[in-house]
Amino acid sequence: MKYAYYPGCSLEKTQRGYDQSVREVFKALGQELVEIEDWNCCGATVYMSVKETVSLAVSARNLALAERMGLDIVAPCSSCFTVLSKTNRVLNEIPEMHKDVNEALAEAGLSYGGKTRVRHPLDILMNDIGIEAILRKSQRSLEGLRIAPYYGCQIVRPEKGFDDREDPVLLDRMFSKCGGEIVYFPMKVRCCGGMLMTTFEETALKLNKELLACAQQNKADVIVTTCPLCHFNLEGYQDKINKIYQTKFGMPILYFTQLLGIVLGLSERSIGLDSAFIPPGQRITSLLETHYA
Amino acid sequence: MGHSVSYLPGLMTRREAEVRQIFLKQVEDIPAGERIKRCLQCGTCTGSCPVSYAMDISPRELIALFRAGEMETIMKSRTIWICASCYACTTRCPSGIKITDIIYALKRTAMEKNYQSKAPQVQILASLFVKNLRKYGRLHEGTLIGNYYLRTNPLKLLGYLPLGRKMLQTKRIAVFPMKIKARKALSRIIEKAQEIEMRHAPEPVSYSPDFVGYRGLGELKLEARKGE
């Protein structure tokens, strides 16, 4: 299948590991991602609190560009995914708003008919491509690796989407089928605080400390993430959390597409493992040396 | 609590009438926004919220205060700014109230009425984000975070040096902003959208002493949309 790829601002540089691994995993599975030409920032959750028509028009520009390509959007970033999906929902449910947004888009010679579907890579990998097809290309087993699957908020909420909102299972299923052991991780959909790390740092540090503690108590070797903001909070702030809470976390954080890339035998560099702040740990390092073939 | 008290029983203050009107206009633009009327005051939202412990009024209280005609208290709260938009409350609300979207509507109302916030840093971040997006078409995280700390707490930038070094070492810093080609077209879209937004602004309230209860505002002008 061919998709319109919407990387989003975080994936361009600061979260290049996510971008690289999504592209490589899709390629390895025979899927084509065509980056939307000249896409703009979706406005993230911040813009929604400023002006509504403006925020909808800003994100709808991307939907219109993808519609012109005749392709569904793949948006790996949870914030982009939820904002683009929400824009779709509002425009479909409130015709007056759709009209207003199209009037604004017309200023740039664009119009949006409401047909672009917004998809998350996890949904496509598990529901379209399917685990069997993935396993056929598998080069490594995750045997012995203890994984905490962290879904975060915005890919499973607010609407009923491609997975359960309280207890999503797609990551669990993906990596247990790949031989890994999924640890008990009741905080799988608990919020990391997102942008609160900038505006209410103390509160966000506490939320992330609790997530890390939960994974560690259940003896996880790694937390896998689906969102650049969750990833950055958990990874980039571990030192600070250790200092403030006198903890000794050294928890590796990987994007789920990076771990899947390891299963598919993709090279470490190509899936951006060299961009991690925290060393991958002994289990993953020894995994990287094994091979089926 | 220091709530504003009206002198006649049930009289809505002018300020309350104005703020409420703007808020209700915002709620009308939320799909299924009218469900705010169905609140049972069960507190599931507060219990589900990961940051309610750090709020001054809980999400359940927000709706109670709205009903009691205390918009002013809500506008001045820390609560609306600390919501991280995780949608846990929205998912669990037994009445299907879109609480996260309601909080977005409250934020927009507070920004429109220029309320002095207990968390001004959130507005600073939001306004810098908007500027950044308008200038480049994409978000440049370096400029955003740099400018944010320069405006709020420059000393904190020093604390970011170790993290910044790690980002450099792992080639995760975009030194220059990534600009889109269609910046002018995007500006035109934004300007037009702003103009449309102004067009829909509610008429100013003509306030009178018989503004008792919500009658003066024609009750909650919220009707179920199709599919409800």
Is residue B192 exposed (0-12), middle (13-18) or buried (19+ Cβ within 10 Å)?
buried
In a 13 Å sphere around the CA of A147, the CA atoms on its Cβ side amount to 27
In this predicted structure, what is the pLDDT of residue B1?
A: 43
Domain check: are A159 and A227 in the same one?
yes
Pairwise CB contact (< 8 Å): A153 & B88: yes
Phi, psi of B17 (to 5 degrees): -60, -40
What percent of chain B shows pLDDT beyond 90? 56
Minimum-distance CB partner of A46 among B119, B129, B225:
B129
Residue that finishes a domain, picked among A60, A92, A119: A119
- Whether A279 is in a domain gets the answer yes
Interface with chain B: mutation pick from A11, A35, A41, A243, highest number of B CBs within 10 Å: A41
Q: Quickly list DSSP for chain B.
A: ------SSTTBPPHHHHHHHHHHHHHHHTSTTGGGGGG-----HHHHH-TTGGG-SS-HHHHHHHHHTT-HHHHHT-SHHHH-----HHHHH-TT---HHHHHHHHHHHHHHTTPPPS-HHHHHHHHHHHHHHHHHSS--HHHHHHHHHHHH-TTHHHHTHHHHHHHHHTT---SSPPPPTTHHHHHHHHHHHHHHHHHTPPPPP---TT-BTTGGGTS----PPTT-
Query: Distance of CA A25 to CAs A129, A213, A267, Å?
Result: 12, 30, 11
User: Which pLDDT belongs to residue A148?
Assistant: 98
pLDDT at B221 over 70: no
- Name residues 87-116 of chain B within 8 A of A (Cβ): 87-88, 90-91, 98, 100, 104, 107-108, 111
Cβ atoms B225, B31 nearer than 8 A: yes
Q: pLDDT-based confidence at A48, cuts 50/70/90? A: low
Q: Is A101 on the interface with B (CB under 8 A)?
A: yes
For residue A99, being part of any structural domain is answered with yes
- Decide if A130 is inside a domain: no
pLDDT, position A228: 96
Q: Is residue A133 part of a domain?
A: no
Same domain, A157 and A255: yes
Chain A residues touching B194 at Cβ < 8 A? 51, 53-54
For residues B6-35, one letter each, b for 16 or more C-beta atoms within 10 angstroms of the residue's C-beta and e for the rest, the string is eeeeebbbeebbbbbbbbbbbbbbbbebbb
Q: Is the pLDDT of residue B45 over 90?
A: yes
Do both A112 and A155 map to the same domain? no
Domains of chain B: 14-118 (1.10.1060), 120-195 (no CATH)
Residues A191 and A257 in one domain: yes
CATH of the domain at A254: 3.40.50.11810
Same domain, yes or no, for A104 and A172?
no
Residue A261 near residue A138, CB atoms below 8 Å = no
DSSP state at residue A137: T
SS3 A34: strand
Any chain B CB within 8 A of the CB of A58? yes
The rounded mean pLDDT for chain A is 95
| pLDDT band at residue B226 under the 50/70/90 scheme | very low
Q: Measure CB to CB from residue A49 to each of B104, B174, B193 and give the nearest one.
A: B104
Whether the CB-CB separation of A218 and A143 falls below 8 Å is answered with: no
Is pLDDT at B225 greater than 50 in this prediction? Answer: no
Assigned token pair, B173? 């810093």
Q: Which of residues 144-173 of B touch A (CB under 8 A)?
A: 145, 148, 162-163, 166-167, 170-173
CB A257 within 8 A of CB A17: no
**Cβ atoms within 10 Å of B164's Cβ, excluding its own:** 16
**ipTM of the complex model:** 0.92
Chain B: residue whose CA lies nearest to A197: B84
What percentage of chain A carries pLDDT values higher than 90?
Answer: 92
Same domain, residue pair A231 and A168: yes
Q: Has residue A91 been placed in a domain?
A: yes
Query: What would the two tokens of residue A240 be?
Result: 């600070």
Measured between CB atoms, does A278 come within 8 Å of chain B?
A: no
Most confident of the ranges A155-164, A244-253, B105-114:
A244-253
A158 touches chain B (CB under 8 A): yes
Our count of domains for chain A comes to 2
Shortest distance between the Cα of B38 and any Cα of chain A, in A, equals 19
pLDDT at position A101 over 70: yes
Helix, strand, coil tally for chain A in percent (to 5): 50, 10, 40
Under 8 Å between Cβ of B187 and A108: no
Average pLDDT of chain B is 87
Structure tokens at B222: 């919220």
A153 and A283 part of one domain: yes
In a domain, residue A125? The reply is: no
Per-residue burial over A192-215, b if 16 or more Cβ lie within 10 Å, else e, is: bbbbbbbbbbebbbbbbbbbbbbb
Residue A293 has pLDDT above 70, yes or no: no
Residues A195 and A228 in one domain: yes
Domain membership of residue A65 as a residue range: 2-119
* pLDDT for B217: 59
Tokens of A157: 């909420």
Task: Mark whether A90 and A36 lie in a shared domain.
Answer: yes
* Res B2: pLDDT: 46
Asked if the Cβ–Cβ distance from B85 to A93 is below 8 Å, we say no
- Kindly report, residue by residue over B5-21, the tens digit of the pLDDT: 445 667 788 888 889 88
Q: Is the pLDDT of residue B213 over 90?
A: no
Q: What is the pLDDT of residue B228?
A: 43
Count of A-B CB contacts under 8 Å:
193
Of A217, A279, A275, nearest to A17 (Cα)? A275
Q: Are residues A142 and A93 in the same domain?
A: no
Does residue A128 lie in a domain region? Answer: no
| CATH code for the domain of A88 | 1.20.1050.140
- For the segment A160-187, the average pLDDT, to the nearest whole number, is 96
Partners of residue A225 on adjacent β-strands: A255
Give the model's pLDDT for residue A130: 97
Instruction: Show the tokens assigned to A99.
Output: 């009209």
Burial class for B143, CB neighbours closer than 10 Å (0-12, 13-18, 19+)? middle
What is the pLDDT confidence band of residue A30, given thresholds at 50, 70 and 90? very high
pLDDT of B203 higher than 90: no
Q: In terms of domains, do A83 and A226 share one?
A: no
pLDDT on residue A50: 67
Residue that is last in its domain, among A63, A86, A119: A119
Nearest to A52 among B29, B148, B181 (CB): B29
Nearest by CB: B193 against A13, A54, A194: A54
CA distance A17 to B88: 28
Can you give the pLDDT at residue A219? 98
pLDDT, tens digit, for every residue of B57-96? 999 999 999 988 899 999 999 999 999 999 999 999 999 9
Residue A131 falls within a domain, yes or no? no
Q: What is the DSSP letter of A254?
A: E
Alpha-carbon span B202 to B72, nearest angstrom = 19
Task: Tell me the per-residue pLDDT of A56-98, one tens digit each, with 9 for 90 and over.
Answer: 999 999 999 999 999 999 999 999 999 999 999 999 998 999 9
- Domain shared by A112 and A165, yes or no: no
The CA R_g of chain A, rounded to the nearest whole Å, is 19
- Res. B186: pLDDT tops 80: yes
Distance set, CA A287 to CA A139, A141, A284, B107 (Å): 11, 8, 5, 48
Structure confidence at residue B223 as a pLDDT band (50, 70, 90): low
Check CB contact of B210 with chain A, cutoff 8 Å.
no
Please state, in angstroms and rounded to a whole number, the distance separating the CA atoms of residues A210 and A218. Answer: 12
